[in-house]
């Protein structure tokens, strides 16, 4: 479902959607998942550090990883994420490998990588719902994650499902119109 934009933008950008409803009957192929991570791999980053990493659990292929990722989500994300065939954790190294100094762009770079992953997913008919609602300490413990790697986000990946699979609160969110702040409100100084 494309969202009308003014001015028009690329279809992949206007069609991208982060639903709560995932089809629990459809899995995501290994080929598609590899392409999503490949899209993330080729994302730009400060000093080409590529500080992002992912933990990927596929419900029907690595159920123990999927379940552990699921248990690291905050309670508010579990009721809808339970239907996603793929759950992932996005991590970032907060120090540069080349000099050991703090990487102030690490979170930005993980976001950019996850955006690239999301657009590749959209091109393949998949949807991605990114979330900040994770328990980082649970991730560290469950997957033996050490500093300077920082668990930051989670991603639910799959095919859009029907809202009747959701609790009403989440179904209502999926039914809301997609809106954004006005274009003029994004530019603080200068002009387009």
In contact, 76 and 66? CB cutoff 8 Å: no
Write down the pLDDT at residue 1.
62
Write down the pLDDT at residue 101.
97
Domain spans, the chain: 11-161
Q: Is the pLDDT of residue 3 over 90?
A: no
Task: Over range 98-119, report the average pLDDT.
Answer: 98
Q: Is the pLDDT of residue 98 over 90?
A: yes
Tell me the pTM.
0.95
Say whether domain 11-161 belongs to CATH 3.40.109.10: yes
192 against 154, higher pLDDT: 154
8 against 1, higher pLDDT: 8
The CA distance from 107 to 127, in Å, is 22
Q: What is the mean pLDDT of the chain?
A: 95
Tell me the C-alpha to C-alpha distance, in Å, between residue 173 and each of 18, 28, 170, 191: 10, 24, 5, 34
Task: Over range 185-191, report the average pLDDT.
Answer: 89
The DSSP call for residue 44 is -
Per residue in 35-57, pLDDT (tens digit) is 999 999 999 999 999 999 999 99
Write down the pLDDT at residue 9.
92
In contact, 135 and 77? CB cutoff 8 Å: no
Write down the pLDDT at residue 184.
86
């Amino acid at each position: 479902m494309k969202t009308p934009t003014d001015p028009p933008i690329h279809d992949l950008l206007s069609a991208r959607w982060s639903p709560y409803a995932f089809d629990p009957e459809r899995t995501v192929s290994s080929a598609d998942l590899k392409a999503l991570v490949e899209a993330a791999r080729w994302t730009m980053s400060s000093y080409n550090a590529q500080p992002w990493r992912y933990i990927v659990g596929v419900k029907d292929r690595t159920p123990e990883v999927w379940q552990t990722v699921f248990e690291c989500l905050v309670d508010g994300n579990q009721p809808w994420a339970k239907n996603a065939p793929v759950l992932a954790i996005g991590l970032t190294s907060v120090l540069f490998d080349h000099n050991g100094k703090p990487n102030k762009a690490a979170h930005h770079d993980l976001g950019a990588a996850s955006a690239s992953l999301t657009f590749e997913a959209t091109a393949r008919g998949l949807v991605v719902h990114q979330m900040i609602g994770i328990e980082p300490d649970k991730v560290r413990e469950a997957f033996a994650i050490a500093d300077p790697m920082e668990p930051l986000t989670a991603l639910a990946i799959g095919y859009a499902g029907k809202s009747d699979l959701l609790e009403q609160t989440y179904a209502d969110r999926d039914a809301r119109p997609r809106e954004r702040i006005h274009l003029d409100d994004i530019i603080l100084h200068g002009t387009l």
